[in-house]
A = this chain, B = another copy of it.
């Protein structure tokens, strides 16, 4: 973790807004709760005119209470409530203040995947949790739209989080062009002024590979994602990974397997989805020389391997050892429980939130121009039931 403590509080305080307690402000719509049909919009000026002060003073009544006397403030707030004024317009304030209180989130595989992929979901949960105290909202940006609206270009934000995206996207390019502070997670940054949060995948993958070697396995299959590529055996195990994460994991595995002279075969699958995984598992387990250990890109894939093994009458770990990745909930609920490489998603989310806060702080004029954060999140092997000694030949 390379993060240093940072006083976000100061930024927040600066933007401080003190409103009267909402409960006391009376009903919506008018003095006696009638649902008035919006007549000419109520603005600061409306209230200023009614009270007989300048517009600025009304603004201060809401945004900088220390700038005017308590009584006058009371009068202004009362009049505002009376006129049904709900407080400074967020859009106008954004423009004037130059800050939006929003962090964009780009995730190429559609924002929906951020909820459906358990690993992504847990990560974002942690980010959301860590960011909540700052009051920043997380804005999930659809990467593309049928219409002409493009969120990455059109939504105001103070910074953006880019998670496991295809880099060469319109949305990505726009985020860059806008000059927003960016934090790349699980992905190579496309610009050097961006912060990064990366998983320390190689040692984790290496540990997994060492584990099966220690158990006596010599014929090992790698199940890797090759986003979009057709499933099948990869020509060269050493370069079978496609995409940052996949590549790192393959390199970690190979860093141990190659020197040990293990017999390695890599099987591609198109996406980290159940269907793809089952298909790839079938390919791997029906190879002429069946591997006795399978190292998988994810727990989801590992579970698919377990099920296919069963289908084929193979026992896990009796005939085949299986290692997952991520240590998702799945790895603990299925039978057998999965040996896997754990990544601390909570720490990763927290580190990301910090990186975002710091990136925003650094953006502010007059801020010391430090280097952007580069965080490496540790991984470690967790041995459970799905791995065992290689079967005697």
Cβ-closest chain B residue relative to A23 = B173
B86 and A177 form a contact (CB under 8 A):
yes
A114 and B93 form a contact (CB under 8 A):
no
Cβ-closest chain B residue relative to A26 = B177
Q: A115-B121, A128-B111, A138-B139 are in contact. Are A9 and B133 (CB under 8 A)?
A: no
Cβ-closest chain B residue relative to A143 = B132
B94 and A156 form a contact (CB under 8 A):
yes
20 intermolecular pairs with C-beta atoms under 8 Å apart: A13-B148, A15-B148, A17-B148, A22-B173, A86-B178, A91-B100, A101-B151, A101-B154, A102-B102, A111-B129, A114-B128, A115-B115, A128-B142, A132-B142, A132-B144, A133-B142, A133-B145, A135-B148, A136-B151, A139-B139
Cα distance, A288 to B137, chains bound together (Å): 49
From B13, B126, B155, A112 is in contact (CB under 8 Å) with B126
Provide the residues of chain B in CB contact with A54, threshold 8 Å. none
Residues in A147-202 with C-beta less than 8 Å from chain B: 147-151, 153-156, 170, 173-174, 176-179, 193
Q: Quick check: is A140 within 8 A (CB to CB) of the other chain?
A: yes
Q: Quick check: is A347 within 8 A (CB to CB) of the other chain?
A: no
Q: A22-B177, A95-B92 are in contact. Are A135 and B147 (CB under 8 A)?
A: yes
Q: Quick check: is A262 within 8 A (CB to CB) of the other chain?
A: no
Q: Quick check: is A334 within 8 A (CB to CB) of the other chain?
A: yes
Q: Quick check: is A373 within 8 A (CB to CB) of the other chain?
A: no
Interface residues of A (CB under 8 A from B): 8-9, 12-13, 15-19, 22-23, 25, 28, 35, 38, 86-87, 89-95, 98, 100-102, 104, 110-116, 121-122, 124-126, 128-129, 131-142, 144-151, 153-156, 170, 173-174, 176-179, 193, 330, 333-335
Provide the residues of chain B in CB contact with A170, threshold 8 Å. 22
The residue among A95, A112, A176 with the most chain B CB atoms within 10 A of its own CB is A112
5 A-B pairs besides A15-B149, A112-B128, A333-B334 with CB distance below 8 A are A18-B148, A90-B154, A91-B156, A116-B122, A139-B139
From B112, B113, B135, B141, A151 is in contact (CB under 8 Å) with B135
Cα distance, A245 to B102, chains bound together (Å): 31
- A55 to chain B minimum Cβ distance, whole angstroms, is 16
- A19 to chain B minimum Cβ distance, whole angstroms, is 7
B149 and A141 form a contact (CB under 8 A):
no
Cα distance, A132 to B139, chains bound together (Å): 13
- Nearest first, the 4 closest Cβ-Cβ pairs linking A and B are A135-B145, A12-B147, A135-B149, A115-B125
Provide the residues of chain B in CB contact with A111, threshold 8 Å. 128-129, 132, 138
From B23, B112, B128, B135, A132 is in contact (CB under 8 Å) with B112
Q: A115-B125, A147-B13 are in contact. Are A142 and B153 (CB under 8 A)?
A: no
- A6 to chain B minimum Cβ distance, whole angstroms, is 14
The residue among A15, A18, A149 with the most chain B CB atoms within 10 A of its own CB is A149
B86 and A179 form a contact (CB under 8 A):
yes
A22 and B128 form a contact (CB under 8 A):
no
A138 and B140 form a contact (CB under 8 A):
yes
- A316 to chain B minimum Cβ distance, whole angstroms, is 16
Cα distance, A177 to B131, chains bound together (Å): 25
- A347 to chain B minimum Cβ distance, whole angstroms, is 15
Cα distance, A110 to B13, chains bound together (Å): 22
